[in-house]
Structure 1
Amino acid sequence: MKALDAAGWHAGNRVRLLENGEQFFARAFEAIRHAREEVLLETFILFEDKVGLELHRHLVDAGKRGVRVEVTVDGYGSPRFSPGFLEALAEAGVRFRVFDPKPTLFGLRLNVFRRMHRKLLVVDRRLAFVGGINYSADHLSDFGPAAKRDYAVELEGPAVGEIRGFLLATLQPPQRREWRPRRAATATAPAGDAGGARVLFEYRDNAGRSAAIERRYRDAFAAAERRIVIANAYFFPSHGFLRDLRRAARRSVEVALIVQGEPDVPLALSAARVLYRELMQAGVRIYEYCERPFHGKVALIDDDWATVGSSNLDPLSLSLNLEANVFIRDRGFNRELGARLDALIRDHCRLVEAQALPPPNPLRNLVVSVFYHVLRHFPSWAGLLPAHTPDLVLVTAPDPARPEG
């Protein structure tokens, strides 16, 4: 792959791919169980099911050991919590925050825009976890046919410090947030670093970094030489994203796209299928994963570029939600992720054939065109709604009389 801008990349990291809840929860809970100083956690969804209750137990135990524990959940993605759930956290000294909590209207949560969709965990300044897996039982295979397939990574090395700094900054009131991503190039790994991977932590917000994650993808498309594989649950990106992807395919880069074939949100598949014909005409091979809902947000390019994170490739994630991905330059990691995605295609996906697409006709073309442009401009229209500064509400906090470790 051609050289990309080196600014912001941290050398000397160890990166471990975690697939599905079975692998992710085991590693995340083990890290929290052995925490001695600090646990910083952000998640879109935390349910009081068997996974959420196990996380709760580890957080309470850590708090009782004197570990600093800071937890933030999204007010749309996570439901109201039972009094006992919150009281146990408070008694253990856990600070528990809700991002942008809003009352429901007839039982419906209306704060769908600008959600905190990140999934981040940092333990003891040593380990970080980044990905798309929420703390809920539907990420485990024993949940049944609706169990989700998804990915995360475990990180050790210099990139952990940047992710930790970001999480600490999110806990401050907006007027006090001073954290800025470190964008100095890191040419070589100092002695004693964890591994050989170069890692870039990237986030999108609704201020100065609104297109940051999309820009990383598009820069990589322009630099691609051999292969692009995108596996994403909700695929309906911008016109520029699609244009750059088609250009890569037309210059003989092998481009494969994996999307949901059995979606948890039916509109997601309908939206993606609107794009099939123009992508396939450019040479993109499209696969639908049909075993169960696909929730992944991963991609790889050539031999040494990959990304894993929370960002889908749809209007919500690319234009409204608060998201975070890591971008990874490491041949070993690419080989492993590539093998996993190749097996997914081989064993659990169907190739979309051109002859299976609905034949073009004037009425359908008009409907497709309207649908495409409505979704394409949806973020801009949503931005016209009355603006507000999302609140970060501290629900539990340590007793002032309780000494902290």
Structure 2
Amino acid sequence: MNSAVEHIATDQPPDEAKARDLDYGWQSGNQIELLENGEAYFPRVFDAMRAAQREILLETFILFEDKVGHELQGILIEAAQRGVKVVVSLDGFGCGELSAAFLKTLADAGVMVQMFDPASKTLGIRTNWFRRLHRKIVVVDAEVAFIGGINFSADHLGDFGPEAKQDYSVQVTGPAVADLHHFALAQSGRQVRTRRGWRRRQQRPSPWATDSGEGLVRLIYRDNLQHRDDIEEAYIYALSKAKKRAVIANAYFFPGYRLLREIRNAARRGVQVQLIMQGQPDVLLAKLAARMLYDYLLKDGVVIHEYCQRPLHGKVALVDDDWSTVGSSNLDPLSLALNLEANVLIRDRAFNQQLYDSLATLSKNHCQVIPAKDKPRLWLWRLTVGFLVFHVMRHFPALTGWLPAHKPRLKPFESQAHD
């Protein structure tokens, strides 16, 4: 038996989950930098790993055996061999195509590899579709952290071709890294030392910091226990506070009615609301689902752009001049009702402007504007179909969590399976 490679539970066992149900507050004095696409992200995160002295914690939904995956593998092996503690948590579906040899090479070098909800193929098809570990977090030496939507795969680089993804992550340094480090440790099953600021709170911190100072960061996450709606609620609360502008760029957009209503209400009271959606989707159903909601939003003044240069994979938003969020969570049923996700909320004017400028360039140069229609054709049919599809997509993923295949479990990995 090889203890360096383990299977981890779909959800934390009840006793562990209770101990790890923590709310992270706002931390001030941070430095936040937007990293757009793999060209900015991979060099920065790889340099941080190469400089690691004590610890690397990594969670990702996808890791492929391509040029990015092999470079990451080499960096992690080299770090482990020089005595750095390296813990890698991979999703059993997103990383289901990794070869035994690739994982065994990591494990043999001393990297602790964990696979979230792995499942063997049935008739050549993977069946573990739902309740995924969708977070993308890297924390190095508890001093620098990266969080966003970028996986470790070459399709986040422009030279991949027309299917290269448009995406975002952030690098964080400062006090908020301690929260990200604590969270990553707890979720990976490692022992954590709880400090006073991480005790469970009767009242959760507001998604809108009371101070409007610079460098404020708060970690929020979604699980299937006590934090089911935290990310969705943060969007709703921020939009309710919007006075000037709101921009949401999201790859898979099919949120609940409360969030849709808040987007519409913001536009009604004069907020400049802009959505950037997929125009060239990697999943056609995502585009069709989002378009069912367009008429509802367009008639109240929401401006909708479809990004057409390549697949949009980002999960970012900003409100007014200093509130932003970046993370792994889409605004669709899987992310909002089932997957394990993590975002950071940011109150910082410079970062907000940097994100706004990036999205403005995107919408101006590479998007088409969806025109508002005075009288949409077949509106009653579209309304009926949209209603049915909406509720099926909103509730079906959550129902799958009741299936026996997704009961929590923690079992060691047998090395013979990789020989």
1-side partners of 2:81 and 2:409: how far apart? 28
The match for 1:124 is: 141
- CA drift at 1:49: 0.7
The match for 1:192 is: none
The match for 1:275 is: 293
**Structure 1 stretch displaced more, 178-187 or 195-204:** 178-187
Alpha carbons 1:120, 1:129 under 8 Å: kept = yes
* 1:372 matched to 2:404: no
- CA drift at 1:354: 1.9
Alpha carbons 2:308, 2:367 under 8 Å: kept = yes
The letter for the 1-side match of 2:102 is: F
Alpha carbons 2:214, 2:349 under 8 Å: kept = no
Q: 1:24 aligns with which of 29, 41, 44?
A: 41
TM (normalized to structure 1)?
Answer: 0.89
Alpha carbons 1:95, 1:396 under 8 Å: kept = no
The letter for the 2-side match of 1:23 is: A
1-side partners of 2:210 and 2:282: how far apart? 43
- CA drift at 1:373: 2.7
The match for 1:14 is: 31
Q: 2:114 aligns with which of 97, 108, 113?
A: 97
Alpha carbons 1:114, 1:321 under 8 Å: kept = yes
* Partner SS, residue 135 of structure 2: coil
TM (normalized to structure 2)?
Answer: 0.86
- CA drift at 1:87: 3.0
2-side partners of 1:20 and 1:100: how far apart? 28
- CA drift at 1:333: 0.2
The match for 1:328 is: 346
- CA drift at 1:368: 2.8
Alpha carbons 2:130, 2:397 under 8 Å: kept = no
The match for 1:305 is: 323
- CA drift at 1:107: 1.7
- Aligned pairs, number: 386
- CA drift at 1:206: 0.2
* Partner SS, residue 306 of structure 2: strand
* 1:139 matched to 2:151: no
- CA drift at 1:180: 5.6
The match for 1:112 is: 129
- CA drift at 1:367: 2.4
Deviation string 1:79-120 (CA, Å, 9 cap, x unpaired) is 243343223212321101100111111121111111000000
Q: Would the alpha carbon gap of residues 84 and 7 (structure 1) be closer, same or farther in structure 2, given more than 3 Å must change? A: closer
* Partner SS, residue 12 of structure 1: coil
The letter for the 1-side match of 2:83 is: G
**Structure 1 stretch displaced more, 281-290 or 373-382:** 373-382
2-side partners of 1:292 and 1:23: how far apart? 18
Alpha carbons 2:45, 2:146 under 8 Å: kept = yes
1-side partners of 2:361 and 2:414: how far apart? 44
The match for 1:403 is: none
1-side partners of 2:50 and 2:411: how far apart? 26
Alpha carbons 2:131, 2:401 under 8 Å: kept = no
The match for 2:70 is: 53
The letter for the 2-side match of 1:301 is: V
The letter for the 2-side match of 1:122 is: V
Q: Would the alpha carbon gap of residues 99 and 336 (structure 1) be closer, same or farther in structure 2, given more than 3 Å must change? A: same
* 1:221 matched to 2:270: no
The match for 1:400 is: none
2-side partners of 1:155 and 1:171: how far apart? 20
The match for 1:170 is: 187
1-side partners of 2:110 and 2:401: how far apart? 38
Deviation string 1:356-389 (CA, Å, 9 cap, x unpaired) is 9951344444323322232233344334434633
Deviation string 1:190-210 (CA, Å, 9 cap, x unpaired) is xxxxx9410000000000000
2-side partners of 1:320 and 1:99: how far apart? 14
2-side partners of 1:284 and 1:129: how far apart? 32
Alpha carbons 1:97, 1:394 under 8 Å: kept = no
Q: 2:312 aligns with which of 288, 294, 315?
A: 294
Alpha carbons 1:255, 1:285 under 8 Å: kept = yes
- CA drift at 1:52: 0.4
Deviation string 1:199-255 (CA, Å, 9 cap, x unpaired) is 000000000000010011111011111100000000000011111111111111110
- CA drift at 1:281: 1.0
The match for 2:249 is: 231
The match for 2:14 is: none
